[in-house]
Structure 1
Amino acid sequence: MEKLEFLIAHVEDLRNKLETQEKANKALKKEVKHIADEQQKWKGAVAVLKSERNRDEQSKLNKNVIISGLPKIKENNEENLNTVFRISEKLEVNLTKEVVTCKRIGKGANSQLKVMFENEELKKKFMEAKKKTNLNSSQPGFVEKHPIYINHELTSENQLLFKNTRDFKRQYNYKFAWISQGRILLKKTETGRNIEINTEEDLNKLIQKN
């Protein structure tokens, strides 16, 4: 009889311990979920802050273009500005010292010319004219003849994002990927809607739909 009572008491003790452990496990799972939810909130908040910072940095560059492919970019910005003027003449866009400045970035064969316009409208006119003309380095007066490339100046984050957007465009048969006022835009067809790409997550969402 004593043995039976002992066994019953032992089983009851084990049951109580199991119940206590289950409650502890549930509390722990709840705490882990709470921590995971908080981490997601923080990750989302950090992503928003990074996106806003990148947008602010990009807004400071929206009046600028980068010219590459020029054989010789001088340290003297006066000479480089004359090169910009010769390019603008070819594009039939009137520029003066009052509305544009420039400076060399980089060194040697990898150097480029950063051109800063007085306003975005003038830059837009310059870029639209560029689309209609195949530029090469002989046109500004250089002996060498190879393509000149003129691109929007982008933050390092947007450079990578635009590259990935162009890769996405090719892979998923989208028709257009372009830059407008510092914004990266994508369009599936001629008549499709413009899709703004602000982060890699925007591309991931589109990948899930395709």
Structure 2
Amino acid sequence: MNKNKQTDDKQNEAKYQGGQICDGKEAKVNSNNETNCELCEKTFLKSKYKLLCFKCDLWICQKCTNLDATAIRDLINEDKNWICRICEKNKNTRRSIIKPKYVTSADQISEEESGTEHAPSQKKFTLEDVNKIMQRNHDSLKSEMKGFKKDILELQHSVQFLSDSFEELQRENKSVKRLLEEERKDLNKANTRISYLEEKLEIIDQEKRERNIMIMNAPIQENENTQDVAHKIIKHVGVHLETNNFLAKRISVKNNSPILVQLNDVNTKLSILKKRKEAGDVTMKDCGFSEDNVVYFNHDLSKNKQELFAKTRKYKIDNNYKYVWIKNGNIYLRKTESSPALVIRREDDLKRLQN
């Protein structure tokens, strides 16, 4: 047991002498393996426990440390920094941070504890030490500058990449704009062409209907012969037609569905419409049927013309126009008897009149 303890003490002493807890500093020993305490100046053997103050770099014997051997051994084993009582006092009273070099006696220790100041001790640096420090700082700054240069270079590359990408996007944007403008022009041309063709088809469709009339509000008869019904109504208004000179049919199977009468020429149509106007109101009973429905004659209009004619009649009522009529497939509107007739070819014509 004692043998092991001695071995541990020797290892700790060796560790301490190697400066493991004292920033690499070693105790000054003479040829007899003796050293001096910097406080009491007493000489003690190298094998005795001693500590180096972390603040003032002074060697202190066990007695002056006020620590027992176990505490010193623990400090050595745990590799902790130790501060002497003088430095501890200076720390607590916020006195000068310059550390005393040493004290020479117990009386001087008492003076120090009572507040007496001693000559400061400063660690001396040689020119070589200064050069080493400057070299380390230079190397550190040089390394940091290399890192900064690398970061700056990467940033420049990133900025250049973004700049090139932006220019490429601008070129692509201009190209897309040109294509869109060309497509817009082509679309406008196509729309204009479509509108023109639609009007042409509308004209052709209406021309095919120019010889037709529509008999409105004529109820469907039981076991009806539509050709015979149309013939009787037309005959009553004063126009005599042979049954082989026209063709009559219902538009749909619904009751009171209009009767489409297809004539051989436009003059016959105009003659029937004129006679109908001269005859006044004509009922189904007047024509030899049992119903009292008043029948009307209308032009045969395309679907678009029918919608436009309905809107024109509404416009006539809403805006106090006096006349609206159809001639040769065209819709006309007149404000008064003396005002000029206006041709309504599309809904935009009505909108322009409002403005």
TM-score by length of 1: 0.79
Greater CA drift, 113-122 or 145-154: 113-122
1:147 corresponds to: 294
CA gap 1:59/1:114 in 2 versus in 1, 3 angstroms: same
**Which runs of 4 or more aligned residues in structure 1 lie more than 6 Å from their structure 2 counterparts after TM superposition?**
none
Greater CA drift, 185-194 or 24-33: 185-194
Distance between the aligned counterparts of 2:167 and 2:338, measured in 1? 63
The answer to whether 1:122 aligns with 2:259 is: no
The answer to whether 1:95 aligns with 2:243 is: no
Distance between the aligned counterparts of 2:194 and 2:204, measured in 1? 15
CA gap 1:72/1:9 in 2 versus in 1, 3 angstroms: closer
Aligned partners of 1:63 and 1:117 also within 8 Å = yes
Q: Deviations over 1:46-77 (max 9, x none)?
A: 12112211211111111111112223452252
Q: Deviations over 1:141-179 (max 9, x none)?
A: 223223111111111221122112222333344333221
Q: What is the correspondence of 1:11-50 to structure 2 with a 5 Å cutoff?
A: 11-50=159-198
Aligned partners of 1:51 and 1:199 also within 8 Å = no
Structure 1 residue 16, shift from structure 2 partner: 3.4
Structure 1 residue 4, shift from structure 2 partner: 5.7
CA gap 1:175/1:80 in 2 versus in 1, 3 angstroms: closer
- Match of 2:255, SS state, is helix
In the alignment, structure 1 segments of 5+ residues that lack a partner are none
* Larger RCO (CA within 8 A; separation ≥ 6): 1
The higher radius of gyration belongs to 2
Identity of aligned residues (%): 24
Counterpart selection for 1:65 from 201, 204, 213: 213
Letter in 1 for 2:314: D
- Match of 1:107, SS state, is coil
Distance between the aligned counterparts of 2:162 and 2:336, measured in 1? 68
Letter in 1 for 2:259: L
Letter in 2 for 1:82: K
Q: Deviations over 1:68-91 (max 9, x none)?
A: 2223452252454133212x22xx
Aligned CA RMSD, in angstroms, stands at: 2.8
1:82 corresponds to: 232
